[in-house]
């Protein structure tokens, strides 16, 4: 867990009132626990009033038989152990952190694996030297710094999000810069690289001079 997971937000009145702590998350939809009655799910997760208590059941019922079997094989032991131990307080917070991060990091791993599959296909078909892509990696705050599951506050961890760009035909590999860029710079950059005029009313700045 991050060292500041149990942050008390001392001197930060706005942060103290935010409803986006890991411990505010829904036991059902977020933790994959079978709780089908709203009153039995203590989560608020910044969405109080929304029907999230039944989201586990809805997601589970949408699965195909083979998917349900895979789900049960993985989650059933976790569910049984949770209701057997019934963690409270900081133990519950740590359980929620581990439960959510296990799913989160496996999802990130899946994305990474499938980007690898895509790159292998492009290489096999002789398209890899022409292929271009950009990837915003998740900000560090989504590793649950300050005990939060969201990145809305301007902590340093919210800004630590790298941009990775690959374009062998026009960008030298291995370059690094500490300059700041934004999502709205991507469209002008792509247009600039393909030789198109960037519309005057388009926000953002081409990053081409930074990349070549």
- The domain limits of the chain are 13-127
pLDDT of residue 133: 67
pLDDT of residue 135: 66
pLDDT of residue 183: 87
Residue-level pLDDT, tens digit, the chain, 212 residues:
999 999 999 999 988 888 888 988 888 888 888 876 667 778 887 655 555 555 677 788 899 999 999 999 999 999 999 999 999 999 999 999 999 999 988 988 998 899 889 889 988 988 877 666 666 666 565 788 899 887 777 788 877 778 888 888 888 889 999 888 888 999 999 999 999 999 999 999 999 999 88
- Measured CA distances, 10 to 39, 61, 62, 208 (Å): 31, 43, 44, 43
Residue 62 burial by CB count (10 A; 0-12/13-18/19+): exposed, middle or buried? exposed
């Amino acid at each position: 867990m991050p060292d500041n997971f149990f942050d008390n937000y001392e001197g930060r009145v706005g942060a103290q009132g935010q409803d986006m702590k890991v411990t505010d998350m829904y036991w059902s939809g977020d933790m994959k626990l079978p709780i089908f009655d709203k009153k039995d799910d203590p989560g608020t997760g910044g969405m109080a009033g929304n029907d999230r208590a039944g989201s586990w059941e809805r997601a589970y019922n949408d699965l195909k038989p083979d998917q349900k079997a895979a789900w049960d094989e993985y989650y059933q032991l976790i569910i049984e152990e949770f209701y057997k131990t019934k963690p409270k307080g900081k133990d519950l917070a740590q359980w929620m952190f581990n439960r959510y991060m296990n799913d989160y990091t496996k999802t990130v791993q899946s994305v990474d694996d499938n980007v690898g599959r895509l790159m292998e296909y492009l290489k096999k078909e002789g398209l890899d030297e022409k292929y271009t892509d950009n990837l915003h990696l998740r900000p560090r705050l989504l590793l649950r710094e300050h005990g939060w599951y969201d990145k809305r506050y301007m902590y340093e961890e919210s800004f630590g999000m790298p941009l990775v760009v690959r374009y062998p035909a026009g960008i030298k590999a291995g370059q690094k810069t500490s300059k700041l860029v934004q999502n709205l710079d991507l469209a002008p950059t792509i247009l600039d690289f393909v030789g198109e005029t960037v519309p005057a009313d388009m926000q953002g700045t081409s990053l081409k001079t930074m990349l070549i």
